[in-house]
Amino acid sequence: MSYKIPMGPFHPGLEEPYKLDMICDGETVRDAKLHIGFNFRGIEHLAESRNYIQVIALMERVCGICSNVHTLTLCRAMEELTGLKPPPRAQYIRVIVAELERLHSHILWAGIAAKLMGFKTMFMTSFEIREKIMDILEAISGNRVNYAMNRIGGVNRDIEDPQAILKMVEALELEMMHAVIPIFTTSSTARSRCAGVGVLTKGKAISCAVVGPVARASGLTQDIRRAAPYAAYAELDFDVPVQTDGDVRARLLVRALEIMESCKILRQALAKLPPGEIHTEGEKFAFVTGTATTRIEGPRGELLYSVSWKEGSKTPARIHVRTPTFAVMPAIRWMVQGARLADTPLIQASIDPCYSCTDR
Amino acid sequence: MTEAATLLESISEKLGISTPWVKKGDALWLEPGQKSVRDVAQAMNEVHARFVTITAYQLLGDQGFCLEYHWDLDGQLLGFAFRLASNSVESIFDICEAADWIEREIHEGFGLNFTGREYEPLQLRKGDTPGVNLREVKP
């Protein structure tokens, strides 16, 4: 006999509010429907009443984890509309902050995934390491969450002592190599809870158009940093980790390997940081009428901003944000089909969902 | 001619469009002319492009709405802009599964109808009205 189990919008198994209505046969999930919008904030509408300085601060609040990538994508779009090009040093600083944010996001996710696996020690270890990443971000920007680094035509703060940051990154890399990566990639607890669970096949990943680590765990190879390089990524050497199993373990492995690639990018970017200005001169900007669409590879995948402006206006005519979680979340329906009910919190967490981004 | 350029040319040919692709920002744009969104979605499926999103704009005065459809072809963002004379447009959900949520969101945000599909509420709660979030109310 089939029965429906509603999970959420407020539930201990969910990190943020959304609802999963699951149709079950015994302990097996047959189908599921997703509902979002419980914290919908109307930020796209609010943006239409903010000027070109205020709108950067507003869009930084779309997400509390990947706040920097939102301002980076927005500033890139506004730079298209003003014809400004950030100086090379600013492009490298943008890469450094973006990669530190990716590390912070992936480690935070690793901690939450560990908690859902019943692996509390790993949860504590991950959060301890995350604090150190936040210390580095604070050393650079003065802030732990909303870094306020990006502006039109560059960045707001310089990295005055790259060697000191490099030392912190190297210490962090060692800790991750000794603690997080081996445990997540080899431990029997992680394998038994994650292998073969919540599979998203490559075919379904293509038809759902999923992005980021979820797509790369299902055999798709795209990473916007490589496919359509921005900032200084074209000048840096890194690999794009891809797995083919499409299960929770594959998503875990992709993120674990991405942590190592981020450290590799950080070491190069800090060593090659070019001298010079960190932003173009001037505080007033002349926008042309038009629309600019820009993308970046955030920690959760491709983030797109479409920004429309009218010449002479201080406020945008329209800002549309397509967040990675918005693209990936519908695929949860296919991941939970055939899964055990007890695995569904881990499966939904395996996409590293951000409902703050989704309910922007 | 590179592989990417050949693919872009094949899309123009499939759609019977002779105007060139225009680069704006990160995206290449093709003016769809008389082609429908479904024709474009079908052509994108045939070249295995990944659906990215739809951006809706309300135009000035009584000019209606504009919908910009985006696909990704091997890392190149492609854009097609459609002006809507009315408040409705054909849905591409049946040929492009990934368009489901964004069509529902635009329906709820702007009050536009995507014909040929049914909606379940995505963000609106009981008693809310489509079009209240992003549609400008004109006197």
Judging contacts by C-beta atoms under 8 Å, the chain B residues touching residue A227 are 74-75
pLDDT at A248: 92
Domains of chain A, earliest start first: 42-358 (1.10.645.10)
Compute the nearest-CA separation of B18 from chain A (Å).
23
Q: Does residue B19 belong to any structural domain of this protein?
A: yes
Which residue from B24, B79, B101 is facing A326, i.e. has the nearest CB? B101
Q: Does residue B94 belong to any structural domain of this protein?
A: no
Q: Cα–Cα distance between A219 and A359 in angstroms, integer?
A: 28
How many beta carbons lie within 10 A of that of residue B33, not counting itself? 10
B24 inside 8 A of chain A by CB = yes
pLDDT in tens, A203-242: 999 999 999 999 999 999 999 999 999 999 999 999 999 9
Looking up tokens 């920002």 gives B25
Whether the bond between A275 and the residue before it is cis, its omega within 30 degrees of 0, is: no
Would the CB atoms of A228 and B97 count as touching at under 8 Å? Answer: no
pLDDT at B102 over 90: yes
Higher pLDDT, residue A319 or A114: A319
Judging contacts by C-beta atoms under 8 Å, the chain B residues touching residue A294 are 25-26
pLDDT at A45 over 80: yes
B135 pLDDT band, cuts 50/70/90, is confident
Q: Does residue B44 belong to any structural domain of this protein?
A: yes
Compute the nearest-CA separation of B122 from chain A (Å).
6
A87 closest CA partner among A173, A152, A19, A27? A152
Question: What does the block give as tokens for A352?
Answer: 């590293």
pLDDT at A155 over 70: yes
pLDDT at B139 over 80: no
Half-sphere exposure of A36 (CA within 13 A, CB side): 24
Which residue from B25, B57, B134 is facing A293, i.e. has the nearest CB? B25
A287 pLDDT band, cuts 50/70/90, is confident
DSSP string, chain B: --HHHHHHHHHHHHHT--SPPEEETTEEE---TT--HHHHHHHHHHTTPEEEEEEEEEPSTT--EEEEEEEEETTEEEEEEEEESSSEEE--TTT-GGGHHHHHHHHHHH--EEETS----SS--TT--TTTTTPPPP-
Which residues face B84 on adjacent strands? Answer: B65
Would the CB atoms of B25 and A304 count as touching at under 8 Å? Answer: no
Distance from CA of residue B43 to its chain's centroid? 13
pLDDT at A274: 94
Q: Does residue B116 belong to any structural domain of this protein?
A: no
B124 inside 8 A of chain A by CB = yes
A326 inside 8 A of chain B by CB = yes
pLDDT at B50: 93
Predicted ipTM > 0.85: yes
pTM score, whole prediction: 0.91
pLDDT in tens, B64-90: 889 999 999 989 999 999 999 888 999
Higher pLDDT, residue A282 or B50: B50
Q: Cα–Cα distance between B128 and A156 in angstroms, integer?
A: 41
Chain B from 96 to 115: CB within 8 A of any A CB: 97-98, 100-102, 109
A100 pLDDT band, cuts 50/70/90, is very high
pLDDT at A346: 87
B138 pLDDT band, cuts 50/70/90, is low
Task: Check if the beta carbon of residue B44 is closer than 8 Å to that of residue B50.
Answer: no
Judging contacts by C-beta atoms under 8 Å, the chain B residues touching residue A47 are none
Task: Check if the beta carbon of residue A93 is closer than 8 Å to that of residue A278.
Answer: yes
| Number of domains making up chain B | 1
Question: What does the block give as tokens for A137?
Answer: 């971000």
Q: Does residue B104 belong to any structural domain of this protein?
A: no
A173 closest CA partner among A240, A68, A265, A250? A265
Q: Does residue B129 belong to any structural domain of this protein?
A: no
* Mean confidence (pLDDT) of chain A: 89
Domain of residue B83, residue span? 3-89
Would the CB atoms of B55 and A80 count as touching at under 8 Å? Answer: no
* Mean confidence (pLDDT) of chain B: 87
Higher pLDDT, residue A296 or B124: A296
